[in-house]
Structure 1
Amino acid sequence: MKILVSAASRHGSTAEIATGIAEAIRAGLTGDAVVEVLPAVAVSDPASYDAFVLGSAVYLGRWLEDARRLADRIVVQQPRPVWLFSSGPVGDPAKPDEEPAEIGELVTSTHALDHRLFAGRLVRHHLSFGEKAMVMALRVPDGDFRDWDAIAAWGTAIATALNPAGIPANRGRPDRR
């Protein structure tokens, strides 16, 4: 089994979440499964994977274009298990706490088994001038708000689902009764 964990990340925080998820999946899998971590833009052949975990940083309430493009490429593949994640809310409590605008459509089109929204990290000196102006206007706090225990637990749950006895009989297409 070959599993792809991929993300679109503007400043690296979401890519680090993808790596954390992949590590938890690797630790929880049995057998000879391979877990690859690639940026969404670098995925050349989605057909070569048996399962996907795809995520994106969220900016202005939307996924980044590279992740949306990869999701579109996954949709046209044979049905495979898919999990989606988003990152971006910051602060305590994390704001904004809404799902990204297109996530319902992405969950439906990819037949995702789950979507998780993880808090992100904001390091002001990594931002562009426009991004700095926006976070200042919105009074967004700096800091790392990622919950690594929740990220690892979700990766472990994915590994459990992918283990030979746990692979969904419908190969990733949830029962939509």
Structure 2
Amino acid sequence: MRALVVVGSRHGGTMEMGEWVAEGLRAGGVDADLRDAEDAPGPEGYDLAVVGGAVYAARWVENVREWTRAHSGALTAMPCWIFSSGPVSGPPFPTDEESVQYGRLLEWTDAREHRCFPGRIDTPNLRPRERAMCITLRVKECDYRPKDDITAWAQGIAGECAGP
């Protein structure tokens, strides 16, 4: 079984989460191909897809939105899961439904599940506008990404696809 994992990441944190998804899929016996949304191939030829995006202002970054919209036909015809990375305000984190405007994402993918995982703020890598927003909202440098939960989620996907 082959999986395409496509990730849209602005500063690398969500891409690293995509690496953990691919690791979890591989641990579950799925051959996972991790690609950046900027140059990812279409999902044709794969058995399943996992699409993830960094969330800014309740929206996925543009490159993964564009890729998902462009490949909507193929994504809705295969098993697909989506994940988002973004809440950084500290616990308690918003629910999956509260975290991102995900209605269109579900429409474009017919995803079996959407998971929102807490993200990270890496202050030195932020753009000036992002840094100013963090100062205004009093968001400090942090890393809340739950590697074990992400890997376990991906292993669950692999198990679900393996069947009984």
Q: Same fold (TM over 0.5)?
A: yes
The alpha carbon displacement at 1:94 in A equals: 5.1
The alpha carbon displacement at 1:149 in A equals: 1.7
TM-score (norm. length: structure 1): 0.85
Query: Hey, what does 2:13 align to over in structure 1?
Result: 13
TM-score (norm. length: structure 2): 0.91
Query: Hey, what does 1:80 align to over in structure 2?
Result: 78
Structure 2 counterpart of 1:50, from 47, 52, 64 = 47
Query: Hey, what does 2:114 align to over in structure 1?
Result: 115
Query: Which of the two has higher C-alpha Rg?
Result: 1
SS at match of 2:78: coil
Q: Flag the 1:94–1:13 CA change in 2: closer, same or farther, 3 A.
A: farther
CA contact (8 A) 1:90 1:96 kept: no
| Aligned residues with identical type, % of pairs | 39
4+ residue segments displaced more than 4 Å: 94-97
Query: Hey, what does 2:148 align to over in structure 1?
Result: 149
Alignment of 1:59-98 (within 5 A): 59-77=56-74, 79-93=77-91, 98=98
Write the distance in 1 (CA, Å) between the matches of 2:127 and 2:69. 28
Query: Hey, what does 1:173 align to over in structure 2?
Result: none
The alpha carbon displacement at 1:106 in A equals: 1.2
Alignment of 1:135-174 (within 5 A): 135-163=134-162, 165=163
Write the distance in 2 (CA, Å) between the matches of 1:57 and 1:131. 14
Alpha-carbon RMSD across the aligned residues, in angstroms, is 1.6
Alignment of 1:31-50 (within 5 A): 33-50=30-47
CA contact (8 A) 1:46 1:73 kept: no
Show structure 2 runs of 5+ residues with no match: none
SS at match of 2:44: helix
Write the distance in 2 (CA, Å) between the matches of 1:70 and 1:85. 15
Residue correspondences, number:
161
CA-to-partner distance for each residue in 1:45-78, whole Å, 9 max, x for gaps?
A: 3212221000100011101111111211331227
Which one-letter code corresponds to 1:92 in the other structure? G
Q: Flag the 1:69–1:153 CA change in 2: closer, same or farther, 3 A.
A: same
CA contact (8 A) 1:94 1:119 kept: no
Which one-letter code corresponds to 2:60 in the other structure? W
Show structure 1 runs of 5+ residues with no match: 167-177
CA-to-partner distance for each residue in 1:142-162, whole Å, 9 max, x for gaps?
A: 111111121111111111012
